[in-house]
Structure 1
């Protein structure tokens, strides 16, 4: 499983998993799984990137290939 930086970025913004989930419109369980490295759909990645207040051009910083 590819390592992503969702947890690192979320924590740097002092944001809880629940808050990120609410902003992204996904379940806290989804955030938990993604932070543990589970794969997710492109649409979900997009929601998370925007919920973190980042630009979609930051995709590779959050979800490195």
Structure 2
């Protein structure tokens, strides 16, 4: 088993965004399928949550 280098990680992420499956990616880069999955999983970022809109009041400030 080999460790992925920076170029391979970049390739994995580009191919993942292009919807190329994990098995094909692993075979082409001579990596383990689980390592490819781990790299994809480690680089995912959770969706940012939108803040709640501010509450407005009818009371004048002056």
TM-score, structure 1 as length reference: 0.40
Higher RCO by CA contacts (8 Å cutoff, separation 6 or greater): 1
TM-score, structure 2 as length reference: 0.42
Larger helix proportion of the pair: 1
